[in-house]
Amino acid sequence: MPFDIRQLRYAIAAADHGSFYRAARALDVEQSTLSRNILKLERVVGVKIFDRSRAGVTMTIAGNTFIHAVKPMVTNADKLVATMRAAAQGRAGKLMIGHYSPISAGHLRAIILGWRSAHPDVDLDGVEADRGALLAGLDTGEIDIAILAGDASHDGFRHETFWSERVLIALPASHPLAERELLHWTDLRREHFLLPAADPGPEIRDMLLGRLSLSGMQPDIKMHQTSRDSILGVLGGGLGLTVICEGGTGARYPDVIYRPVHGEQGAALITYSGYWRKDNGNPALRRFLAFLRDRYALPFDIP
């Protein structure tokens, strides 16, 4: 008959306290229960762990060796149980976030930093890719949640709107519009725009087409097979303008400045939504969603 971890706890407590009575009080059990279980333990291991006397108990030579060996076992078992409980409650484990937005500033950066601070035992990782790859990652379970621009639904995934960010125009510091504190869409109808072909470039292009198109006149937009950072890196040379959201304004580029753009209803905004599989059982995801919901006072429910 093998011994159990409770018997080990009793023996370790008796060794630490030098008394079955004091060990039983420390563990809040009957002394007879503790004594009986230690006796069973001694029978199983085949050695006498304690010498008993009216003055208390002392460890035998074999008992000292035994207690020294099992203490790390019990400590590791306690850590394992604590880790498993924390993982089940979403306070440990792993969370994978997918996005295609810059995180040098804005809400996503604040969320990631706030989550890391509040949940240091959760291994938080991220994947930056285009929308199709992120949705595929959700489908295979490689990604727990994807945060994307817009509010479109995708079959098989639940989604909720999380926040909005201002739209900003990135332009050369030498550009005539750089003298203004804010811009209007009407100021931009004859400007040349450079956008990345990768997400969210196509969404920004569609937004520009909707905002800047006039009867018989389309905005001047060129899609580039380079990254957003590469476009911003050369923008100061006077090649044109580009569009970013607040999340990208933490990074600075030579001779490039940012200006907010307004429409008839005020500041132009882009919404960001979260997407996740309805059957995702990761407790860390549920806790992350609760973190977002509470931070932004959102009304959605979390199963």
Q: Are residues 195 and 208 in the same domain?
A: yes
Lowest mean pLDDT among 76-80, 96-100, 143-147, 261-265: 76-80
Q: Are residues 139 and 187 in the same domain?
A: no
Tell me the pTM: 0.70
Q: Are residues 182 and 261 in the same domain?
A: yes
pLDDT score for 242: 96
Q: Are residues 170 and 154 in the same domain?
A: no
Rounded CA-CA distance 76/262 in Å is: 59
pLDDT score for 248: 87
Boundary (domain end) residue, out of 55, 70, 88: 88
Position 303 in a domain: no
Is 60 exceeded by the pLDDT of residue 42? yes
Position 233 in a domain: yes
Domain carrying residue 257: 166-269
pLDDT score for 81: 67
Position 302 in a domain: no
Q: Are residues 14 and 140 in the same domain?
A: no
Position 301 in a domain: no
pLDDT in tens, 172-185: 999 999 999 999 99
Q: Which pLDDT band, with edges at 50, 70 and 90, does 83 fall under?
A: low
Q: What's 154's domain CATH number? A: 3.40.190.10
| Domains in the chain, number | 3
Position 41 in a domain: yes
Q: Which pLDDT band, with edges at 50, 70 and 90, does 281 fall under?
A: confident
pLDDT in tens, 192-203: 999 999 988 999
Q: Which pLDDT band, with edges at 50, 70 and 90, does 103 fall under?
A: confident
Q: Are residues 175 and 225 in the same domain?
A: yes
Q: Which pLDDT band, with edges at 50, 70 and 90, does 122 fall under?
A: confident
Q: Which pLDDT band, with edges at 50, 70 and 90, does 236 fall under?
A: confident
pLDDT in tens, 12-22: 999 999 899 99
